[in-house]
Chains A and B, each alone.
Chain A
Amino acid sequence: MSWTTRIRVLYQAFFLLLFVWLLDRLAAGDPRAFPFTAFHHADPLTAAGTALAAGTIPGALVWSAALIALTLVLGRAFCGWICPLGTLQQLASFLFSGRSRRESLNVNRYRRWYALKYYILAALLVGALAGTLQTGLLDPLSLAARGLASGLWPVLPGGRPAPGGWIAALLLLGILVASRWIPRLFCRAFCPLGAFLGVFARFAVFRIHRGNEACTSCTLCAFACQGADEPLGNHRAGECMVCLNCLPACPEQAMGYGALPPLAAPPRQPDLSRRTLVGTVLTALAVAPLLRAAGGGRAAARPRLVRPPGALAEADFLERCVKCSLCQQACPTGAIQAAIAEAGVEGFWTPVVVPRRGWCEFACTRCGEVCPTAAITRMTAARKTGYDGKPPVRIGTAFVDRGRCLPWAMGTPCIVCEEMCPTDPKAIWLETVEEAGRDGAARRLQRPRVDASRCVGCGICENKCPVGEEAAIRVSSVGETRNPLNRLLAGSASS
């Protein structure tokens, strides 16, 4: 292994381990302030998407400009040296394919359809401009985090089930398995972030070049080319992932990587057909309203669409959420799950609170702390709980199902929901009644009642309700702070 390869592998291992370790610390609830969102804040695709969709680049996401700057200097070094999904694919390709040199040469040749990623990028950005942010579906950082959070962590010892996690896991696995046949197939043909960086990489100061005098056209440089960017012929700087495999491969030392003056002829453009590009843009414009018409939570509030505390109003939320799963991974009780159908087609894989799985811990603000795009607002525990004197942040309201509740329907004492209720005074109170049983004898019973003006919708009552499968007290989204129209009680601050 040459020294360039060794250094690259060290970088790749470091960033992959860092990525997984940060997810692990999130899941472990480590209270230390690690840079959990560092990878996602460095993602210019996320920045461009939220800028187009929401008209803002929130907070630390401005750091993604640094990645564009890096690309303008070094080319797509992010893809070859940092991206955890790229590293995983390269590893899968290394482990599972025993290609001969002849096959390698064939498989590492550029294909016209690798330009597909540029169309995907165009469609996603145009969709964002039209108000539906779907970059997270294929963004490699979101995709990898989601695949691990929903696909790997649930099967680890002590893991919590993630409904629909298999979809995220299958996508990740499919991408890795595809590398068995074509190395980094996802990077080459599908990755919208790679395409985004590729646009800038064409103008990079540092690039691969071939000394024509020494070259014997032996094609050895193309054998291990990760990006299929044809270092031998007209090098495609926008495709090159700067893996530098071509340097040590050359027996004549004809290949180099360095700062070069701009080429006399403009660098080669991606093979984009104008007709197809216009078609892509028009299709994306048409898809955005179609997704809306499918009826998510945007037009009308949905009862099961309980968003994490501090989530923005649904329209604003959908313009920012990049479906990265960090909030899901950070939730200490497992309440936050990926929406499969709860939020409509547009909101697929966005976070919802499922109280039967976990409850929103009263003083916990973890999800907002790790949201890279501030789709979930960062706030203090005092703000969330209302201990600062203002109304607390509500995510919904609990309703007693009087047909299932033990005291209401079965004449059986139970106060678990009231016992668990964290608000002060408790939103669930007990009404004491005398009730005649089947034998006609009067009994004293305490029946839970919900004071909607106090309930924050945390769902611990639903979670701990002893009535199996479907609880006898359930939270729906009405009363949520983020939507002033999704109300139960008249009046301003209290409901």
Chain B
Amino acid sequence: MSEPGPTTITRREAVLRLASTAAAAAAVGAGVVAFHDRRIVHPGAAPVPDWRVPASGAGVAAAARSTDPAGNVRRAVAALGGIERFVRAGESVLIKPNVGWDRLPEQAADTDPFVVAELVRLCRSAGARRVVVADISCNDPRRCFASSGILAAAGTAGAEVFDARGLRLVPAALSGLAEGLEVVEELLRADRVINVPVVKHHSLSRVTLGMKNWFGVLGAGRNRLHQDIDMAVAELGAIFRPTLTVVDATRVLTANGPVGGSLADVRTVGAVLAATDPVLADAWGAALLGSRPQDLGFIAQAEQRGLGRADLARVAELGTA
């Protein structure tokens, strides 16, 4: 025979039980209310900042020539008023070279490592809080950053070097470009941006330079932009407005671009241009490859949109050191 259980509960027990039931019901109810027809909000497209600095009397573009790429960078930047005009102490700077290909510096498919490293050093000397070197390569990113010499050179000079594996892509306001494209987050976070293209032949846009270099901050889907390349490149020029464009013409790739390969297609020029006008920078590079800037669709479109002026007379040629 089993013991009879208690048939009553105390008032204290009753209150506690009712209270806990009520609390549980309230929690469930609150959960239902909170999640009912809840709209899943995806992060909005971040705006792309304008990284330019105000114009000054120091000119818009200067080209230096010598066999020393680092010296060329220093002289060209100095002619525009020095790095202090573009980078202030405490700012974070993103440097965007072309590290698209698993090629050696001699093959001129990627930006020269000495040019990149010198820019890193200049930014550091101006007191930049951090200097990031980043690009989304076309070939295997590890191999591109190693073969181009940029990982070693920029890293030694004091930059944080990120290839595609270390970069996060986020939606950004890319009006006029293909849907679904994302942009490197580090770029949007930077206070100042320096675009460092290398002068190369390209079979569709004929030359690939600074504005085309912005392909390297875009994620999957960028290959669709080739369908109207001149419009796309001009559009990129309108979206991304760098503090400075430094055109690397230490060596230029005259054929089989943008990948290259043969040293026979590489011409040693030994020049570096620094410019605040990205259209002028591209025009100067195109001229090195024998193209008249006005004949290039993307330069014409960029001029029409008021992104800059392709008037080569505005370039201060500093000559050899």
Interface of A with B (CB < 8 Å)? Answer: 29, 31, 158, 332-333, 361-364, 406, 412-416, 418-426, 430, 446, 460, 464-466
Q: Which of B18-26, B81-89, B134-142, B191-199 contacts A (4 or more CB under 8 A)?
A: B134-142
Report yes or no: A415 in contact with B261, Cβ–Cβ below 8 A. Answer: no
Q: Give min CB distance, A367 to chain B, whole Å.
A: 13
Interface check B242, CB cutoff 8 A: no
Q: Which residues of A contact B221 (CB under 8 A)?
A: 466
Cβ–Cβ < 8 Å partners of B202 in chain A: 419
Cβ < 8 Å to A, chain B residues 267-314: none
* Nearest residue, chain A, Cβ from B259: A422
Note all chain B residues with C-beta closer than 8 A to A31. Answer: 146
Enumerate chain B residues within 8 angstroms of A158, measured Cβ to Cβ.
Answer: 165
How many A-B residue pairs have C-beta atoms within 8 angstroms? Tell me: 72
The reply to whether B223 and A466 contact each other, CB–CB distance below 8 Å, is yes
Compute how far the CA of A361 lies from the CA of B221 in the bound complex, rounded to whole angstroms.
Answer: 20
Query: Could you say which of A412, A415, A419 contacts B259, with CB atoms under 8 Å apart?
Result: A419
Q: What chain B residues lie within 8 Å of A418 (beta carbons)?
A: 203
- Listed A/B pairs (22) with beta-carbon separation below 8 Å: A31-B146, A332-B140, A333-B140, A406-B227, A413-B204, A414-B227, A415-B203, A415-B204, A415-B226, A419-B226, A420-B138, A421-B259, A422-B139, A422-B259, A424-B256, A424-B262, A424-B265, A425-B256, A426-B256, A426-B259, A460-B138, A466-B223
A466/B138 in contact, CB under 8 A: no
Q: How far is the CA of A466 from the CA of B229 in the complex (A)?
A: 14
| Set B223, B228, B256: member contacting A465, Cβ < 8 A | B223
Separation of A465 and B146 alpha carbons in the complex (Å): 26
Q: How close is A80's CB to chain B, nearest CB, in angstroms? A: 38
Given contacts A361-B102, A415-B203, contact A420 B259 (CB under 8 A): yes
Whole-angstrom CA separation of A418 from B138 in the bound complex? 13
Q: What is the bound-complex CA distance between A421 and B143, given in angstroms?
A: 16
A418 to B221, CA, bound (A): 17
Q: Which residues of B contact A425 (CB under 8 A)?
A: 256, 262
Is the C-beta of B149 less than 8 angstroms from some C-beta in chain A?
no
Contact across chains for A423 and B261 when beta carbons are under 8 A apart: yes
Is A361 a contact partner of B139 (Cβ separation < 8 A)?
Answer: yes
Point out the residues of chain B lying under 8 angstroms from A415, CB to CB.
Answer: 203-204, 226
With contacts A362-B102, A422-B259 taken as known, whether A416 is within 8 angstroms of B139 at the C-beta atoms is no
Is B258 in contact with chain A by the CB < 8 A criterion? Answer: yes
B210 within 8 A of A: no
Name the residue on A nearest B224 (C-beta).
A466
Q: How far is the CB of B162 from chain A (nearest CB, A)?
A: 14
0/1 per residue, B195-231, Cβ < 8 Å to A? 0000000111000000000000000010110111100
* Chain A CB within 8 A of B97 CB: no
Task: Add 15 more A-B contacts to A158-B165, A332-B140, A426-B259 (CB < 8 A).
Answer: A29-B142, A332-B142, A362-B139, A363-B102, A363-B143, A364-B140, A413-B204, A415-B204, A419-B226, A419-B259, A420-B138, A421-B259, A424-B265, A430-B203, A446-B203
A422 contacts across to B, CB distance below 8 A: 101, 139, 259, 261
B140 pairs with A419, CB closer than 8 A? no
* Least distance between B263 CB and chain A CB atoms (Å): 10
CA distance A472 to B176 in the complex (A): 25
Q: How far is the CB of B103 from chain A (nearest CB, A)?
A: 9
Cβ of B165: which chain A residues have Cβ within 8 Å of it?
158
Contacts of B101 in A (CB 8 A): 422
Residue of B nearest to A334 (CB): B140
Tell me which residues across on chain A come within 8 A of B229, comparing CB atoms.
413
Bound Cα distance from A412 to B223, whole angstroms: 13
B204 and A446 contacting across the interface, CB-CB below 8 Å: yes
B261 touching A419 by the CB < 8 A rule?
no
CB distance from A350 to the nearest CB of B (A): 23
Q: How far is the CB of A444 from chain B (nearest CB, A)?
A: 12
Closest residue of B by beta carbon distance from A466? B223
In the complex, how many angstroms separate the beta carbon of B299 from the nearest chain A beta carbon?
A: 17
The smallest C-beta distance from A141 to any residue of chain B, in angstroms, reads 26
Q: Which residues of B contact A362 (CB under 8 A)?
A: 102, 139
Contact A361 B143 (CB under 8 A): yes
Taking a contact as CB atoms closer than 8 A, the residue among B139, B146, B226 that contacts A414 in the complex is: B226
Q: Are B143 and A332 in contact (CB under 8 A)?
A: yes
CB distance from A160 to the nearest CB of B (A): 12
> Do B203 and A419 have beta carbons less than 8 Å apart?
yes
Q: Which residue in chain B gives the minimum CB-CB distance to A361? A: B140
The docked-state distance in angstroms from the alpha carbon of A446 to that of B256 is 15
Q: How close is A470's CB to chain B, nearest CB, in angstroms?
A: 15
Closest to A410 in B: B227
Q: Which residue of B lies closest to A465 (CB)?
A: B223
A414 to B221, CA, bound (A): 13
Q: Does B260 contact A (CB under 8 A)?
A: yes
Closest to B142 in A: A29
In the complex, which residue of chain B has the Cβ closest to the Cβ of A158? B165
A30, chain B: closest CB distance, angstroms: 9
A419 touches B204 (CB 8 A): yes
Residue of A nearest to B139 (CB): A361
CB-CB under 8 A from B228, the residues of chain A are: 413
**A residues near B258, Cβ cutoff 8 Å:** 419
Chain B residue at minimum C-beta to C-beta distance from A429: B203
Chain B residue with the shortest CB-CB distance to A430: B203
- Chain A residues near B261 (CB, 8 Å)? 422-424
- How many whole Å from B288's CB to the nearest CB in chain A? 20
Query: B226–A416 contact, CB under 8 A?
Result: yes
Residue on A with the closest CB to B221?
A466
Chain A residue nearest in CB terms to B138:
A420
**Nearest residue, chain A, Cβ from B141:** A332
Contacts of A414 in B (CB 8 A): 226-227
- Within the assembled complex, what's the spacing in Å between the Cα atoms of A416 and B229? 11
Measured CA separation A449–B122 after assembly (Å): 46
Nearest CB in chain A to that of B178: its residue: A466
**In the complex, how many angstroms separate the beta carbon of B315 from the nearest chain A beta carbon?**
28
